[in-house]
Amino acid sequence: MRTGIAKIPLDYGRCPRWLFERMKHLSRSIFLAIREEFGPDEILKRLSDPIWFQSLGCVIGFDWNSSGLTTTTLGAIKAGLFDIQDELGIYICGGKKASRKTSQEIESYGVSRGFPFFPRLIYASRMAAKVDSCLIQDGFQIYAHNLIFSKTGKWVVIQQGMNTNTKKARRYHWFSSNVSDFTTEPHSGIISDLKIRPLNLTAKESGQNKKISVELVSRSPKTFLKDIQLISEKRNNLVEWKRFSDFTEMELNDTEFYWHPVLDEKFDLKRLEKTIFFAHFQKPKDFEHLLSLEGVGPKTIRALSLVSEIIYGAKPSYEDPARYSFSTGGKDGTPFPVDRVVYDKTLEIIEKGIKKSRISIKEKVEAQRRLIKAAKNIL
């Protein structure tokens, strides 16, 4: 199964009330059926799969490739399952408008239900958001965030970012069973329909860059600040800049390299200095600890990565970690052959949920029809 990222068209507007109510009703029935057949942890495992999630959104009645599928489907699931969460064994926190309240909702469930692991969930929620905004700098701003967890402490994060320039939305999936290190390839599979060139500090190839970044903060913040000031000054003189670093033996104004972190980058050195010295006094033991600190955001990470690359030669990865097709594969083998096991399992779980759900025969037939249509669209 692939957990990871899906990229879809950015959409506007509202879901009609009649459709939203129907989505609540149908999703409730499907999840109860899946819980009965496979158990609550299987629900989390399936939600962490972007293909399965997309198929579910189609089945319960939403547009197959709309960005609204993410927020509306999660909103319908949260509302539809609210009064049976204890019975189901699944708790849903956050959302589009409630993304900043995710931690409060997790704590509320933790205290009221006596879940001793809830601080771990709050940390996971915050780190997932930080990683996808700071370590994969792909131009998508996170605006919707959900954490779903079970009574066993397993969790899923589904969050979505938007890029108004490309008019695309990108969806990020996390599953606790796949996360051994928040900052190193935490997405076990990433799906996308656009190829981009992000600063990707989650890649294993970025390990040395991250190591030096931590050392710069821990041991020599003054040296780092001098280096970033030097880089900022040199970049304004293209000829001198080329002499300064053979890393930039390229035309810096070429649009092909729009992603390069030096281009048009203006660091607020006074603000950066405050952040770096604050982080220095916290004595971060590793990169994850550094990233978790308050105030350490995308610009701080970019500055540290830039100095590590230009001054110390520790190049980070600029390879998009996404698979470049929103599918389980293609019939012509592009971008890769159809994974029949994954594809069949995707259909099987939802179809079983439809068949066992407590809904009318007409609703079941319509849901099965939408599942078949969604499968054709995905492939």
157 compared with 372, residue with greater pLDDT: 157
Is 226 contained in some domain?
yes
Asked if the model's pLDDT at residue 304 lies above 80, the reply is yes
Q: Report pLDDT digits (tens) over 230-250.
A: 888 776 554 444 444 444 333
pLDDT score at 376: 61
108 and 149 belong to one structural domain: yes
Q: Which domain holds residue 39?
A: 5-196+323-378
Which pTM was predicted? 0.79
Nearest to 137 by CA among 294, 351, 359, 321: 321
226 and 362 belong to one structural domain: no
Q: Checking phi first, is residue 333 left (phi over 0); if not, alpha (psi -120 to 50) or beta?
A: left
DSSP assigned state of 177: G
Number of structural domains (the chain) is 2
pLDDT score at 190: 63
71 and 123 belong to one structural domain: yes
Tokens matching residue 114: 């006596």
Euclidean distance between CA atoms 201 and 318, whole angstroms: 8
Q: Report pLDDT digits (tens) over 120-147.
A: 999 999 999 999 999 999 888 999 999 9
For residue 262, name the pLDDT band (cuts at 50, 70, 90). Answer: very low
62 compared with 69, residue with greater pLDDT: 69
pLDDT score at 176: 95
pLDDT score at 351: 66
DSSP assigned state of 335: S
Q: What is the DSSP string of 28-46?
A: HHHHHHHHHHH-HHHHHHH
Three-class SS state of 308: helix
286 and 340 belong to one structural domain: no
Is 315 contained in some domain?
no
20 and 154 belong to one structural domain: yes
Three-class SS state of 157: strand
Q: Report pLDDT digits (tens) over 64-116.
A: 455 678 888 999 999 999 999 999 999 999 999 899 999 999 999 999 999 99
Q: Which of 282, 310, 338 is the last residue of a domain?
A: 310
Asked if the model's pLDDT at residue 342 lies above 60, the reply is no
Q: Which of 253, 276, 310 is the last residue of a domain?
A: 310
Q: Percentage of the chain with pLDDT > 70?
A: 69
295 and 217 belong to one structural domain: yes
286 and 267 belong to one structural domain: yes
Cβ contact 71:96 at 8 Å: yes
278 and 221 belong to one structural domain: yes
For residue 334, name the pLDDT band (cuts at 50, 70, 90). Answer: very low
Chain position carrying tokens 């708790």: 91
119 and 268 belong to one structural domain: no
Q: Which of 262, 279, 310 is the last residue of a domain?
A: 310
pLDDT score at 207: 96
